[in-house]
Structure 1
Amino acid sequence: MRELKGFIEQGHTWAMRMTTFLLAAKQAVEAHHGALSEEEARRWERVYDRILERAQHRLETMTPLPKKALAFVRRLQKRKEEALRFLREVHVPFDNNQAERDLRMVKVKENISGTFREETFAQSFCIARSIVSTLTKHEKNVWDSLCLLLAGETIDRVLSAT
């Protein structure tokens, strides 16, 4: 979505159509409680293909050739399965915002404390952040869950406990 926003700002109308399409697809998935039927997903894919085909045709006729926009359209065509996986699979999020937030914590730690003194410290920090993130995603009380983990419980048992 971030890249599409940039192309919209440059005046690419296809990017606005793709943004509208993706947001509508997201709403359709939410209305179906997380995943579409195979037939419905194929219908959305056909619209996706049409938007990109028209975008590619339009971009290829422009002078000068908008190389970045054309490369982006081709990447969306090539990565269609990954881009639209959220249509079929409940556990696949619409965007990668959570992954970006998870990674941002490493940069914050690095900016506040400087670099990690040893690689093992960086690995330990990442493991701890991963555990906290997993607990949060599973709507577990982080403090209580960490206490259980430190007392010897496995992550699987903590996650499956009600």
Structure 2
Amino acid sequence: MTKIKLNRVIDKARQSLEEEDASPAFKKSISDLFEVVTFLTNRLGLNSTNSSKPPSQDPNRERPVRTARGRKRKPGGQKGHKGNFLKPVENPAEIEEIQIDRRTLPRGEYSHVGFEARQVFDIEISFSVKEYRSEILENEKGVQYVADFPDGVTEPAQYGSTVKAHSVYMSQFQLVPLARVEDHFHDQLGLRLSKGSISNWNVLAYQKLESFEEWARRSLIGSLCN
């Protein structure tokens, strides 16, 4: 039923209601219902061109016909484009030799003549723990001397510089929220980082880069003045 027909039905019903011998309260209730129906009917005709409804929420909007400009290109690499593809490396990290099940071969004499090689490039998502053991020497008087640990190794157990750098990279360069960085390390690497540690490493990276930033700023100003 169209909007025009609905309006006619509502008007006719209102006239019939006036002619009925009913109480004022009943007529008022029915009249209010007519107002609601009229309101809903009017909303049926609203679209993104005559209301505040955004086009993205208007399923009946008119969509512009897009025409291709210029030459149509086929999908994939274009003529003259140099594609990038993997090339085998000379010294792979791991070699697995696959032997032929000779029981599946026809009867006969066979000799080994070599291998056909195919390489698979992959990544290993894991963490490693390196333990430093500083030698302790004691002289005849009972005085002990301990070898110095490498710079930055100050706790019995701590995260290394690669973990910190990867965390800062994800948080600051890739703009991953702290909670998702925390989830990444836990789900993919089995490391239970806290959002506090991630935030502290961001501050530490900023502090270490502050002197470089100042040097770069002065160098740029100097190059512009020369």
TM-score (norm 1): 0.24
Normalising by structure 2, we get a TM-score of 0.18
